[in-house]
Amino acid sequence: MTVNLSERRPQVAHRAAVIPAPVPARVRVRKLALEVARFGVVGGSGVAVNFLVFNLALHGMKWAPMTATVLASVIAMGTNYIGFRFYAYRDRASRTRGQIALFFAFSGLGVVMESVLFYVGYHGLGMSGPIGSNLAKALSIVLASAFRFLVYRTWVFQHDARRG
């Protein structure tokens, strides 16, 4: 009896799909706490840049309050990208044009949010002068940072599924 090799089908080993084990809650909480801490380090340095530029422009150079706050926020946004990309979210997907575009789009929305909130505090609530303006700036940064944290971790610096 001869066997026609063209009719013979190759043997395919069936392997069960490998499903990763669920990550324990304490590990997820620890990872999130570390992420929040790293975000805080980068964000804290960005806040320092933001306040330094803001006070220099508003109180030192006597620029208009809105010009000072927007300029300070934009400069801080640029320094924050470097910190987020290479420190806070260095374990996430590699840098792409799309990631950079998303970062600056969401950061731009954050600058708008921060500026509107600052405007309300400075002009609407009368938080002017050196202490009041810095308090208005601080409140606007805190509220806009909550938005930034959520969008950066969700859409900008996404986990790379291949890295786990």
Is pLDDT at 148 greater than 60 in this prediction?
Answer: yes
**Within a 10 A sphere around the Cβ of 6, how many other Cβ atoms?**
5
Q: Where are the beta strands (DSSP E) in the chain?
A: none
Output the pLDDT for position 96: 77
Q: What does the pLDDT look like over 85-143, one tens digit per residue?
A: 888 878 776 667 887 888 889 989 999 999 999 999 999 999 999 999 999 999 999 99
- pLDDT over threshold 70, residue 14: no
* Mean of pLDDT over the chain: 85
120: left (phi over 0), alpha (psi -120 to 50) or beta: alpha
Q: Give the C-alpha separation, 103 to 125, whole Å.
A: 31
- 10 pLDDT exceeds 80? no
Is the confidence at residue 162, as pLDDT, over 50? no
Confidence of residue 45 (pLDDT cuts 50, 70, 90): very high
Q: For residue 80, is pLDDT > 60?
A: yes
Confirm if 136 and 72 have CB atoms less than 8 A apart.
no
